[in-house]
Amino acid sequence: MPHLVILYTANLDRETDMTALCRDLADTMVQQRDETGEPVFPTGGTRVLAYPAPHYAVADSQRDYAFVYLNLRMGYGRADAIKTRAGDALLARAKAHFEPIFSKRHLGITLQIDEGAEVYNAKHSNIHPLFPH
């Protein structure tokens, strides 16, 4: 963990590169540092996944609205200021990515950060050893 999951209306697929957004957001997460300069998120555990919703209804039926929901899920233990900085950085990156679309259509973006204590948390990976943090 951390995992950033993006749910979005599929009408955006023809207007933007969601894979590029995923990469940009993952890079933004990996670049985050705490007050001592240590990474906020482990590089090997950082995941950004995007899922289009082929069936959706946004607002009224008057226009072809679009919507993007970003949910960052992380474990407990980070200071509130660090979570806010990370959220601000991710939202700024998402807004920059979608800026060309805002001039063409109505679009909503929501970013939510959740912390959770795991009830069960098992991992099996050969990715983490590739990174020192």
- pLDDT(129) > 90: no
| Residue 32 pLDDT | 97
Element (H, E) at 85: helix 80-102
Q: Calculate the average pLDDT of the chain.
A: 93
**Residue range 27-48, pLDDT digits in tens:** 999 999 999 999 999 999 999 9
**Residue range 70-80, pLDDT digits in tens:** 999 998 889 99
**85, 39 contact by CB (below 8 A):** no
Q: How many CA atoms lie within 13 A of 43 on its CB side?
A: 12
**Residue range 80-118, pLDDT digits in tens:** 999 999 999 999 999 999 999 999 999 999 999 999 776
Q: Which CATH class is domain 3-119+126-130?
A: alpha beta
CA–CA separation, 5 and 111 (whole Å): 10
3-state percent helix, strand, coil for the chain, nearest multiple of 5 = 35, 25, 40
pTM for the model: 0.89
